[in-house]
Structure 1
Amino acid sequence: MNLGRKEETKQRKKRPLFGDAISSTFPLRFQDVSDIRQVPDHQEVFVDPARDESLIFELVDFKNDVGDNGSASRFLQDLAVGQYAEGSVIIEQSGVIEVPGLCYRNVPAIVTTAVGQMVLEIFSLFHLLVLDCIVESEHEDKLKAYYCIQLKMAISKGRQGREAQNIVRVYLANLRLKEVRTDVLITAYEPILINPLSESAGMVGAGFSIPAEQSGCIPMGEVFKLAVSSFKVNEWSLFGASPSA
């Protein structure tokens, strides 16, 4: 890769989401999937086909039956069920932290992080983008605090079976805003090991993924942190709320 291309892959920009009602900053190498196919109204999906990495923003109903400390585990379980995981384990979870920069009517979001692992047999990373959603919801208009889950998962492409599993690291942030009754999920997918029998091998090559730094890219973990830390609500009316925050 030439120096010009390396610099290009590191460029980042504030991107409008949900009709510019929300914005977030991340590298330009992530292409808007809605430019080539329809995306569910409650999702914004971006992908870097060259690395089979993706970034998904999703609005789901606030989970009233789950406490803040248990939210990360709950969404991880939902993720496992939705993607046919054989099992999932939360191995680390932080305490609850307020995010004063993301408030509605002076009520701040809260942040909690968790780390988990799961084994999945499902579609390839790229084909995950054609699923309606990662965590199913009944409504599209709500939001309260914020959980991060960094986990490793094995994903089997299509219906190719266990022999074609890929090892993928997934970062999941759950931003929860109680006042507008919505959970926001920010999910980042990063392939670690591509099975030669999987479809992804034909797209990005088999074996261990080339480290982002060697490709001149911002590492996916940093992309995720940037997307989450820069997340901003510009129009609270998106959630059916009064414009005044």
Structure 2
Amino acid sequence: MASRYYEMKLYGGMMECELPKDFENASTYRTIPDHQEVFVTDTNDQSIIIEILEQADTEDDNCAKYHFDELAVDNEASSSEVITNDPIPDDNVPDLPSTAICHMVTGRQLVTKYKEKGPKAENYLLLYVAVARLKQFHVDIVISYNHPMYIAPGSSSSKMMTADPDAKASLAVFKHLLETLRITDYKLFGTPLW
């Protein structure tokens, strides 16, 4: 049976993970900042974003919630709610270093796209946000999965996209991404602090 995943080299091959075949690299048609890797679907408006950010000034057990809240601000969410905030067991991220501190948040946000206005344009997003904190590099690797559970009729996405209400499938994809995430060259993060 053919796999539904493919191996994606990130940041010029310095990181790798496996992604579903229906996610395409957004950099093939739009400019993506150097610190990000962005993958999108063309059927259900889902996206996966991997970012390398300076370590947030927050406690380790709050790091995923911090970045979830930052996404709510960036998304100009009209509402935002954390459902779960838990550490990620080491065996769920087997290819990350044992020194990495990993946390995950599942949450909901109401957001519009492209600065569209009004509740008739608000999409209901389920978001998974995982953070792998590498303290020796003062870096947070932030992985987010945006899963629209409802696409509003007034949203520009409604003309071409259909929401997928199957949250179990997206959670399985997210967990698979984390299980296959590996760093192949630590020079990506600069000089270690120790």
Report deviation, 1:36: 1.0
Alignment-mate amino acid for residue 27 of structure 2:
S
Q: Deviations over 1:5-50 (max 9, x none)?
A: xx88x62111100000000111111101111111100000011111
Cα RMSD between the aligned structures? 2.4
CA deviations 1:48-71 (Å, max 9, x no partner) are 1112111111110012x3111121
Q: 1:153 aligns with which of 104, 109, 112?
A: 109
Alignment of 1:192 with 2:184, yes or no, is no
State how 1:54-73 maps to structure 2 within 5 Å: 54-63=47-56, 65-73=57-65
1:68 and 1:96 in contact (8 A); partners too: no
Give the CA deviation at 1:212. 5.4
1:44 aligns with 2:37: yes
What pairs up with 1:96-107 in 2 under 5 angstroms?
97-98=89-90, 101-103=95-97
Distance 2:4 2:20 in 1: 5
Which SS does the other structure have where 1:219 is aligned?
Answer: helix
Mark the structure with the bigger radius of gyration.
1
TM-score (norm 1): 0.70
Aligned-pair identity in percent equals 30
Q: Deviations over 1:88-127 (max 9, x none)?
A: 3334322474556422xxx5212xxxxxxxxxxxxxxxxx
Q: Describe how 1:1-245 pairs up with structure 2 within 5 A.
A: 11-63=4-56, 65-95=57-87, 97-98=89-90, 101-103=95-97, 108-110=99-101, 146-157=102-113, 158-205=115-162, 209-211=163-165, 219-241=169-191
Residues 69, 96 of structure 1: 8 Å contact kept: no
Paired residues in the alignment total: 189
Segments of 4+ in structure 1 off by > 6 A?
none
Q: CA 1:229–1:212 in 2, change beyond 3 Å: closer, same or farther?
A: same
Q: Is the 8 A contact 2:106 2:127 kept in 1?
A: yes
1:224 and 1:91, CA in 2 relative to 1: closer, same or farther beyond 3 A?
closer
Aligned counterparts of 2:146 and 2:48: Cα–Cα separation in 1? 7
Instruction: Quickly say closer, same or farther: Cα 1:101–1:23, change in 2 above 3 A.
Output: closer
Cα 1:28–1:237, aligned 2, differ >3 Å: closer, same or farther? same
Consecutive unaligned residues of structure 2, counting only runs of 5 or more, are: none
Contact 1:100 1:109 in 2 (8 A): no
